[in-house]
């Protein structure tokens, strides 16, 4: 699945989700539990309790898209956090790795921090 640009934010819901939920229920969860706007263009990830199924909700500018994946072997990584921490943020690359079944997503930071103009300036003498 190609996400609309690599600059979208990816938010993983921090608790198991009932996979019977559809567009409206997942939008409600995004609004109430993640405190985000489901029509913002960001990507929202939900994982079932048994970690065999995952759903991704995304607004592409024309409508809501719901991507569903069920693993035939193995399980998705457990992305569940303490609710006080808020949602887990992933990069698009980490989302792709997660959907491919990588066990490291959510446990180890896989993407280096974003570059800023401060980090590009070198403090080393020349």
For residue 5, tell me if it sits in a domain. Answer: no
Establish if 1 belongs to a structural domain: no
Would you state the pLDDT for residue 93? 81
86: left (phi over 0), alpha (psi -120 to 50) or beta: left
Q: Considering the domain boundaries, does residue 126 fall inside one?
A: no
Predicted confidence at residue 4, as pLDDT, reads 57
| Structural domain contains residue 78 | yes
d(C-alpha 124, C-alpha 59), whole Å: 44
**Banded model confidence at residue 95, pLDDT cuts 50, 70, 90:** confident
- Mean pLDDT confidence for 119-125: 56
Q: Is residue 125 in a domain?
A: no
Tell me whether residue 50 is in a domain.
yes
Average pLDDT, the chain: 81
Specify the pTM.
Answer: 0.78
User: Which residues are CB-neighbours of 83 under 8 A, at least 6 positions away?
Assistant: 14, 15
Q: What is the pLDDT of residue 97?
A: 83
Span 7-31, average pLDDT: 91
Number of domains present in the structure of the chain: 1
Instruction: From 37, 38, 55, 59, select the one nearest 46 (Cα to Cα).
Output: 55
User: Which tokens is 53 given?
Assistant: 């199924």
Residue 126 has pLDDT above 60, yes or no: no
Query: Containing domain of residue 76, as a range?
Result: 10-120
- 110 falls within a domain: yes
């Amino acid at each position: 699945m190609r996400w609309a640009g690599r600059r979208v934010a990816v938010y993983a819901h921090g608790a198991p989700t009932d996979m019977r939920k559809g567009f409206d229920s997942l939008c409600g969860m995004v609004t109430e539990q993640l405190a985000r706007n489901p029509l913002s263009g960001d990507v929202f990830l939900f994982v079932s309790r048994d970690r065999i199924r995952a759903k991704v909700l995304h607004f592409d500018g024309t409508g809501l898209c719901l991507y569903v994946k069920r693993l035939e072997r193995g399980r998705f990584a457990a992305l569940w956090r303490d609710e006080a921490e808020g949602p887990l943020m992933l990069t698009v690359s980490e989302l792709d790795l997660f959907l491919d079944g990588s066990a490291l997503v959510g446990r180890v930071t896989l993407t280096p921090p974003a570059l800023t103009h401060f980090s590009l300036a070198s403090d080393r003498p020349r």
